[in-house]
Structure 1
Amino acid sequence: MIDRLTENLLRRAFEPLVRQGQLDVVLPWGRELRFGDGGEPRARIRFADRRALWALLRDPDLNFGEMFMQERLVVEQGTVYDVLELVLRGAREVPVPASVRMLDAWRMRLRPFLQNNLRGRSRANVAHHYDLDDRLYQLFLDPERQYSCAYFERGDETLEQAQQAKMRHIAAKLLVVPGQRVLDIGCGWGGLSRYLAEVAGAGHVTGVTLSTEQLAGARQRAAASSCAAQLEYRLQDYRDIDPAKDGRFDRIVSVGMFEHVGTQFHDAFFRQCRELLSDDGVMLLHFIGNSDVPDFNNPWIERYIFPGGHIPSMSEFTPAIERAGLVICDIEVLRLHYARTLRIWRERFLARRAEARALYDERFCRMWEFYLSMSETAFRYQDIAIFQIQLARRQEAVPLTRDYIGQRETQLREREQALSRY
């Protein structure tokens, strides 16, 4: 009786979701259920025990990934990406069950606690993900270690070409003039800051990060740069940059860091940026955003990948920009660029999976395969995109039209060609 009830619940869960393609589900007692129209992609999963099956039904957002990591949900045909694609590509048209809505409401109430990113907690959250063994990131990132969305101008570029185009696109929007002082908040391994000094001509670039591993990598690469004297990297929270001591910056850039700020600290972030930005300064903020209404961080991502993270909706961060006294000069939404980036990262990671297993273990590899797969499907089939927000203290700080972006990209491309490293 219980097994029959479970089968009925599974049918009610999967039938509305899987309309195209084929998903076969093998139950712990041997029964097999088939969903979809028999087309592509096709995948087959098996539940190793009844508790794993009930865990998925009870809380799919958290337990799908956990059951996959624990090998209690086994993908026997296709990949876990195929399974996620089958389930998620039509999910927006399917009503959310009442039980899931109740769970979602509870998670929305937990947001202030989970995103209470005070200094110590922010440091710990960053260390959880970014202070992993540096050799892990070598497996799938480009040589400049750009761990953020690439920019595909045509769509058929290599990862290296698209990441260089991303840096060029950002530099063009920043309107960097030779000799200017630039602040890079969340500088990672320093690839963008080196580009701004070497190619865009910035006089001095200060990069701040909370990751000790990234700091070491950025300093090591800076020492080998032709602009080593113009590059400075610090282990520092953005809240601790002192405008009285450090002065103001002509340009501020932040790529892939704002997702770690948390809604409670949006006001503090933008107020600090305004204090640090010169009167005629320009800021470019590049981050993952939610094109839908405000939501909570995915619970699996929160637990295993990015604790304290949040993908903000425009209605959440724009009021903080207004309250800080900054002017929004330009907004660009890069929709599928990150899906392409994640596809390449996932393929590269899986091609060198044995090396990742040697660094960590099999469970870690399954966790990262799920992370990269789920992230890609989120950008392809859900309301997740990259926002690039250009800000200034005065609206006259940038040209009247966007023509300057293409013009400056052409100039930067010419400078790249003159430098052997690019």
Structure 2
Amino acid sequence: MLAALGFRQFVREGRLTIVDANGKRHVFEGSPGPEATIRLVDPSLHHRLFFSPQMAVGEGYMNGGLVLEDGTDLYTFLHVCMLNVARSETESIQWMLRWFRNARAAFRHWNPIGAAQRKVSHHYDLRDELFDLFLDSDRQYSCGYFLDPSDDLETAQFNKKVHLAAKLRAKPGHKVLDIGSGWGGLGLFLADRHSSISVDGVTLSTEQHRVSNRRAEQAGVADRVKFHLRDYRTLEDKYDRIVSVGMLEHVGPRHYGEYYGKVSSLLKPDGVAVIHSIGVFRPAQPQNPWMEKYIFPGAYTPSLSQQTEAIERHTDLYVTDIEILRSHYADTLLAWRLNCAANRDKIVAMYDERFYRMWEFYLTGCELAFRYGYLMVFQIQLAKSIDAVPETRDYIGAFESQHLKRAARRLQQAGD
């Protein structure tokens, strides 16, 4: 089995047993750690696991060519892989394959307006019911904010909206732009704070556009909360506040200057923006090829240094605050994964078994990437003027305390 050559160099921690398509067992072991056993039903994986391990593992699990054995679950198997992945491209011919991957990514991450919409549609225009099965009731499809380990998903996502609102400091009469507005939850939340706040949301997903405007109508705020099926680069208005959550990952490194330049041009002189994005702790590199093909085409996980350089080079904005959220997204993904598992039969009926395994692989792999320090979330606060926000961060905690107490009173009154 050709793949055995790669796994002998790959496994330095834990133990991985592979039963090949001929029934032969191969044991790869390093220092003490988690143990997993897999069986290769598809003989083509014997060489595909060597030449393209990330794609082969993902497709093998999706298609049933790679099965878990001896009580191994997907989390444990991917845990073994994740512990050893830092060394996975240091031997044999993997350096050459990485060069081709980088070259290909230079084209895949080019996101002109038309191409950007097609890439977004691949993921966010899936059936509407799917997202109801694993997200919170407000459909926050981004990192929650766990103030306490006992927080459930609903609480963590509410906390996240409060945390972002605290940093935005939107005031009565302000006009807010939400770039990548999703299903409208954040925009509606911000508008609910003051009856005179207006919100424009932009998305490239036709399904999100439909749902968010329906929600605004149902909430009776469609006169001041509007969601548009537009690329942010086509906007020309001016805004007091701009927020963008989970959209920067779809911009691509070739467009960071364009992105921040547009944010700067849309902000009023006393404006404030908050950018929330998944990021990497180490130098950025092209996305996992399986994830790029099946989940987020054209996406790219940025580094914080790429953002600060683009802001410095292409804007007149001040970076007034940066916060790193480490394990919050791991806990969010765990909640999503457990929700999917509880609704497995419904998801299989909606699509098929292959789709469920694809979604399970996506959520599990991402959770582990956050759990073990490959990925994080950063929030960058930007301002047009040096004194647009207070000098200390006390205002964030004060806002959160006030808002969370108010929310607790509402829940108590509703219960009574």
| CA spacing shift, 1:299–1:396, aligned 2, 3 Å | same
Unaligned runs of 5+ in 1: none
Q: What is residue 222 of structure 1 aligned with on the other side?
A: 216
**Aligned equivalents of 2:330 and 2:167: distance in 1?**
23
| CA spacing shift, 1:229–1:419, aligned 2, 3 Å | farther
After the TM superposition, which of the residue ranges 232-241 and 319-328 deviates more from structure 2? Answer: 319-328
**Aligned equivalents of 1:39 and 1:179: distance in 2?**
60
Q: What is residue 360 of structure 1 aligned with on the other side?
A: 351
The DSSP-based 3-state class of the residue aligned with 2:93 is: helix
| CA spacing shift, 1:124–1:40, aligned 2, 3 Å | same
Residue 331 of structure 2 aligns with an amino acid whose one-letter code is: R
| CA spacing shift, 1:419–1:190, aligned 2, 3 Å | farther
Unaligned runs of 5+ in 2: none
Alignment of 1:205-244 (within 5 A): 205-243=199-237
Of residues 390, 393, 396 in structure 1, which corresponds to 2:384?
Answer: 393
Residue 329 of structure 1 aligns with an amino acid whose one-letter code is: T
How far off its partner does 1:347 sit?
1.0
Q: What is residue 258 of structure 1 aligned with on the other side?
A: 248
After the TM superposition, which of the residue ranges 410-419 and 311-320 deviates more from structure 2? Answer: 410-419
Q: What is residue 166 of structure 1 aligned with on the other side?
A: 160
| CA spacing shift, 1:327–1:402, aligned 2, 3 Å | same
Please state if 1:273 is matched with 2:263: yes
Alignment of 1:46-125 (within 5 A): 46-76=39-69, 77-92=71-86, 96-125=90-119
TM-score (norm 1): 0.92
**Aligned equivalents of 2:342 and 2:32: distance in 1?**
27
**Aligned equivalents of 2:110 and 2:3: distance in 1?**
41
Q: Aligned residues: percent identity?
A: 42
Q: What is residue 361 of structure 2 aligned with on the other side?
A: 370
The DSSP-based 3-state class of the residue aligned with 2:401 is: helix
Give a deviation string over 1:92-115, Cα, whole Å, max 9, x none. Answer: 367722422221122112222001
Please state if 1:138 is matched with 2:132: yes
Residue 269 of structure 2 aligns with an amino acid whose one-letter code is: D
**Aligned equivalents of 2:196 and 2:406: distance in 1?**
13
The DSSP-based 3-state class of the residue aligned with 2:44 is: helix
How far off its partner does 1:90 sit?
4.1
Please state if 1:287 is matched with 2:277: yes
Residue 60 of structure 1 aligns with an amino acid whose one-letter code is: P
Q: What is residue 323 of structure 2 aligned with on the other side?
A: 332
Equivalent residue pairs, number = 411
After the TM superposition, which of the residue ranges 279-288 and 314-323 deviates more from structure 2? Answer: 314-323
Give a deviation string over 1:130-160, Cα, whole Å, max 9, x none. Answer: 0000001011000000000000111221000
| CA spacing shift, 1:168–1:360, aligned 2, 3 Å | same
**Aligned equivalents of 2:408 and 2:160: distance in 1?**
16
How far off its partner does 1:222 sit?
1.2
Q: What is residue 182 of structure 1 aligned with on the other side?
A: 176
How far off its partner does 1:310 sit?
0.5
**Aligned equivalents of 1:340 and 1:412: distance in 2?**
23
Please state if 1:33 is matched with 2:26: yes
Residues 206 and 229, structure 2, Cα contact 8 Å, conserved in 1: yes
**Aligned equivalents of 1:353 and 1:94: distance in 2?**
32
Please state if 1:12 is matched with 2:8: yes
Residues 199 and 416, structure 1, Cα contact 8 Å, conserved in 2: no
Residues 289 and 387, structure 1, Cα contact 8 Å, conserved in 2: yes
How far off its partner does 1:411 sit?
2.1
Q: Kindly report the root-mean-square deviation, in angstroms, between the aligned alpha carbons of the 2 structures.
A: 2.0
The DSSP-based 3-state class of the residue aligned with 1:292 is: coil
Residues 326 and 373, structure 2, Cα contact 8 Å, conserved in 1: no
Residues 131 and 214, structure 1, Cα contact 8 Å, conserved in 2: yes
Residues 333 and 366, structure 2, Cα contact 8 Å, conserved in 1: yes
**Aligned equivalents of 1:288 and 1:90: distance in 2?**
22
The DSSP-based 3-state class of the residue aligned with 1:325 is: coil
